[in-house]
Amino acid sequence: MKGLLTKYEKKKVSPRSQNITKNEKLAIKQLRENNDIIIRPADKGGKTVVMDKADYTQKMTSILNSNDYEIIPGDPTKTIEGRVYRTLAKHRDEFSDEERRKFQSHYSKPHHIYGNPKIHKEGAPLRPIVSTIGGPMYNLCKYLHTVLTPIVEGGPTYLKNSTEFVNKVRTIELEENHILASLDVVNLFGSVQWKVVIKIIQDILEKEPHKVSIHPSTLLELLTLVLSNNYFQFEDKFYKQKGGLPMGSPLSPVLAEILMQHFENRFILNHSEDVGFCVRYVDDGFLIWKSGRQNLEDFLKYLNTCDEHIKFTMEIENDNKLPYLDTLVYKENRRLVTTIYKKPTHSAQYITAQSNHPIHVKRGVIKTLTHRIHRLCMKEEDRKKELKELEKELKQNGHSTKFIRNAMQDRRRRTDDTPQLDPIATLQIPYIKGFAEKVRSWAKDVNIRVCFSSKHTIRRSLCGTKPTNINIDDKGSIYCIPLSCGKRYVGESGRPLNVRLKEHKDKIRKGETTGSYLVQHLDGCSNCQVDWTNVTTLTREQHTKKRKIIETGIINSSENAISSASVDVHDMWLPFFKQKFKV
């Protein structure tokens, strides 16, 4: 790493160029500061929707006033953290201390709900999504997802993706009376009754307990804990979801899959005399019906009487064609043929040539889209048609013909058999055009792997719906405590700032100098007082190591800091910290 930094010191890097104009920056700022609108990505199609905030709030409130939700008195986050801690503590024999620390959360943020507009439907209703990232059960839900996955994999109707679908239908031979149809579950996640799913899982594990990696009783207890505490915040109110599963939870897809496989085994697959072929991807099913159109419509009516919560809609082939997932299936010579299907909401918006991304990312997008066409189009004439259409759409996104065609032709995987050395370290840096490529090149010479990140995007800047919460919004702070003698203490904490400041105050009150540079300074500096009213947050960073590096850089570049640096930072970065944080 020192070799890389030495190389950097000897190089000259041109100033960072901007990929948006001043007027565009001003427009983004005005949109961000406009409190009368809300900006959300469309539910499908990749478009962005600007909505009147009052209309958005009214639609969300209408959803939350339904029988599926109820208002609860206050924020239950702290209570749920305690429940998770106590439940995991009961099972110390199954989880190591490290695992329990990973699944537990402290000072976590409440789940929050937002809606994405369904612009393909009349009135653009909202699809409610609950963000559980950073919540009190998020890590536990991710773990339970991995535990439950073996139960659903390999099911008779289970589809991994559209490529698997194409491979399955490729060899099917049709009869004259066969009808293609697709089934869609209405509001699948909202239809899943979690107590029913837990009973299904219990029945499965009584017969096959080896399918999961923990004791079945422990799994059922953890599932009950998670599913009985589905809550979220909207504006300044807290709600509990009484029925269904929240879209946005890592656990919801696998639970919905378990329920649907159970439903299919009971009510669909036992009609083998009528159903010639049946597969499903989440809530979208595809079947080949052998018993006539009227019987197919009667079958739909039958399915909608099997469970009071699970209801289906059906689409039947038209002119021997039927869209399914992102494919269009059509009949030809008693065979099924697939090609690309684009929904009416398709926007043809891909990564633009002007976007602030590395060139290999732009090339990779084109290669992936090209590969998709070759995977999903069975016939050469369909491939040629879709490739021509893709080239046209990419040109609309600013890419040159030469760049597009070179990327399209470069679909083959690397065939170089030269042994590759494992990198001695991995360095993640923000992507800054010109600078990032040079750092990557220099790092390669010393066998360091460089990854680029993109933190500030227009969508992230404009499409936020997270409610303000003063208790958790200042987690991950690098803060400054001013002192009356002119010195200042710079520190960092992954916990809320008020919690860390309380610890400082307690140490000062008790006179604990051990491990506290602030108390040591006050003890040795006569009449020095802490100015608690002017404590400031210099910046925030959730990543622990990055936060410590920034803290160290600020301390080392400041002439009046009394703190001690916790990690090593090269002196070449000091001018950056002085300018960035005005130290």
Segment 203-214 mean pLDDT: 93
Do 490 and 403 belong to one domain?
Answer: no
Contact (Cβ atoms closer than 8 angstroms) between residue 532 and residue 504: no
- Residue for token digits 């009214």? 58
The rounded percent of the chain whose pLDDT value lies above 70 is 94
Which strands make up the sheet holding 536-540, listed edge to edge? 488-493, 477-482, 536-540
Bigger pLDDT: 370 vs 45: 370
In a domain, 296, yes or no: no
Instruction: Give CA separation, 581 vs 10, 344, 409, 433, 517, in Å.
Output: 25, 48, 47, 23, 22
pLDDT at 180: 97
Please check whether residues 97 and 246 belong to one and the same domain: yes
| Claim to verify: residue 245 and residue 373 sit in the same structural domain | no
Whether 314 is covered by a domain: the verdict is: no
Radius of gyration of the chain (CA): 29
| Higher-pLDDT residue of 578, 507 | 507
Determine the pLDDT at residue 468. Answer: 66
Categorize the per-residue pLDDT at 473 as very low, low, confident or very high, splitting at 50, 70 and 90: low
- Final residue of a structural domain among 389, 409, 429: 409
pLDDT > 60? residue 295: yes
Checking if the pLDDT of 412 tops 80, the result is no
Please state, rounded to an integer, the average pLDDT across all residues of the chain: 89
Give me the pLDDT at residue 470, please: 47
392 with 498, same domain?
no
Dump pLDDT digits (tens) for 356-390.
889 999 999 999 999 999 999 999 999 999 999 99
Residue 576 inside a domain? The answer is yes
39, with CB counted inside 10 A (0-12, 13-18, 19+), is buried
* Tokens at 428, concatenated: 């993640």
Q: What is the DSSP letter of 209?
A: G
Residues 480 and 373 grouped into a single domain: no
Higher-pLDDT residue of 390 and 415 is: 390
Could you tell me if 252 and 189 are in contact, meaning their C-beta atoms sit under 8 angstroms apart? yes
Instruction: Kindly report the pTM of this predicted structure.
Output: 0.84
Q: Are residues 147 and 242 in the same domain?
A: yes
For residue 190, is pLDDT > 80?
yes
404: pLDDT strictly greater than 90: yes
pLDDT > 90 in the chain, percent: 63
Residues 98 and 224 in one domain: yes
Query: Is the pLDDT assigned to residue 472 strictly greater than 70?
Result: no
Task: Please return the burial class of 11, using the count of CB atoms within 10 Å of its CB with bins 0-12, 13-18 and 19+.
Answer: exposed
Lowest mean pLDDT among 5-9, 185-189, 197-201: 5-9
pLDDT at 454 over 90: no
pLDDT, average across residues 18-29: 86
Mean pLDDT of 474-479: 86
459 — pLDDT class (breaks 50, 70, 90): confident
Residue 452 lies in a domain: no
3-state secondary structure at position 337: strand
Domain assignment present for residue 64? The answer is yes
Q: Tell me, yes or no, whether 480 and 375 share the same domain.
A: no
Shared domain check, 525 and 391: no
- Tens of pLDDT, residues 71-122: 999 999 999 999 999 999 999 999 999 999 999 988 898 999 999 999 888 8
Q: Where are the beta strands (DSSP E) in 348-399?
A: none
Query: Does residue 74 share a domain with residue 217?
Result: yes
* H and E: helices and strands count for the chain: 21, 19
Structure tokens at 47: 């478009």
Kindly indicate the confidence band of residue 3, based on its pLDDT and cuts at 50, 70 and 90.
low
Domain of residue 378: give its range.
Answer: 359-409
Q: Which residue has the higher pLDDT, 3 or 124?
A: 124
Residue 324 has pLDDT above 70, yes or no: yes
When pLDDT is averaged across residues 414-429 and rounded to a whole number, the result is 72
Q: Secondary structure of 48-63 in the HEC alphabet?
A: EEEEEHHHHHHHHHHH
Residue type, 483: L
234 or 526, which is more confident = 234
As a whole number, mean pLDDT of residues 554-578 equals 83
pLDDT at 421: 77
Instruction: Using alpha carbons, select from 372, 376, 295 the residue that is nearest to residue 336.
Output: 376
CB 455 within 8 A of CB 467: no
Backbone dihedral angles phi then psi of residue 487, each to the nearest 5 degrees: -80, 175
What is the reported pLDDT for 419? 64
Q: Has residue 15 been placed in a domain?
A: no
CATH number for 530: 3.40.1440
The number of domains in the chain is 3
Quick: pLDDT tens for 118-174: 988 889 999 999 999 989 999 999 999 999 999 988 788 999 999 999 999 999 999
Average confidence (pLDDT) over 259-284? 91
Asked if residue 488 and residue 399 are part of one domain, the reply reads no
Residue 72 falls inside a structural domain: yes
* Of 230, 256, 282, the domain-final residue: 256
Q: What is the mean pLDDT of residues 248-267?
A: 94
CA–CA gap between residue 239 and residue 231 (Å, rounded) = 6
- Does a structural domain hold residue 575? yes
pLDDT of residue 17: 63
Same domain, 391 and 500: no
Please give the residue that has the higher pLDDT: either 280 or 466.
280
**Beta strands 231-234 and 179-185: pairing type?**
unpaired
